[in-house]
């Protein structure tokens, strides 16, 4: 977990995407740990952070393609200087649509799930569903597990695209195992 305390490499660095993938995996692991401890709002927040870190990795990996579809010079500059290093919450949907345009189908649907979890983190369960899309912690826990499963799937797909270290492999293996335990009848 100490990796999360180190400064991130510059977005222009070749290591940036792999570090953000590792961050995503570690944050997803924390989400599962919080679920195990019954801290569902915290788990929702960590799952959101995990998805945001994965988006940062994908944005960096596809920056050249994204620059080609950007409509203006101002948008290209914003992508490089703001979108990749910060992944603003308010722009996650539009960035996801851009990633879909360059070869990541379905990513906007997943981003929507992550943003719903982000709302839950702040508003908690909402039987009326006015401030949060989840009525109770059981619905939210299921959404967290589904988002973590998607993070595992997408991270596995990046093995040939980012610098894949033993640390990354170990973290992904641990996350996959913890996810399987969480989904088993005994894990609930």
At 185 the pLDDT is 67
The DSSP letter of residue 106 is T
Decide if pLDDT at 188 tops 50: no
The DSSP letter of residue 81 is I
- Contacts with 90 (C-beta within 8 Å, 6 or more apart), sequence order: none
pLDDT grade, residue 126 (50/70/90)? confident
Convert the pLDDT of each residue in 52-99 to its tens digit.
999 999 999 999 999 999 999 999 999 999 999 999 999 999 999 999
What global pTM score does this model have? Answer: 0.93
Rounded average pLDDT over 1-23: 82
Closest among 61, 49, 50, 55 to 15, alpha carbons compared: 61
At 186 the pLDDT is 52
Q: Is 24:147 a contact under the CB 8 Å cutoff?
A: no
Rounded average pLDDT over 130-144: 92
Decide if pLDDT at 2 tops 60: yes
Number of helices and strands in the chain (H, E): 9, 0
pLDDT grade, residue 130 (50/70/90)? confident
Rounded average pLDDT over 100-109: 98
Residue with tokens 């996810």, as numbered in its chain: 179
The DSSP letter of residue 126 is -
Decide if pLDDT at 187 tops 70: no
């Amino acid at each position: 977990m100490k990796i999360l305390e180190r400064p991130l490499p510059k977005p222009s660095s070749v290591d940036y995407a792999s570090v953000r993938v590792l961050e995503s995996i570690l944050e997803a692991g924390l989400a599962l740990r919080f679920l195990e401890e019954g801290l569902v709002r915290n788990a929702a927040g960590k799952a959101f952070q995990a998805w945001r870190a994965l988006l940062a990795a994908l944005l960096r990996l596809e920056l050249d393609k994204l620059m080609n579809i950007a409509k203006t010079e101002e948008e290209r500059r914003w992508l490089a200087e703001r979108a990749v290093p910060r992944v603003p919450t308010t722009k996650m949907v539009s960035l996801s649509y851009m990633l879909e345009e360059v070869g990541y189908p379905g990513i906007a649907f997943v981003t929507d799930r992550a943003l719903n979890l982000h709302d839950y983190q702040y508003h908690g369960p909402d039987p009326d569903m006015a401030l949060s899309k989840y009525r109770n912690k059981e619905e939210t826990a299921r959404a967290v597990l589904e988002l973590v499963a998607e993070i595992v799937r997408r991270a596995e797909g990046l093995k040939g695209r980012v610098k894949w270290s033993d640390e990354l492999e170990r973290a992904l293996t641990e996350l996959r195992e913890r996810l399987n335990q969480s989904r088993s009848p005994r894990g609930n």
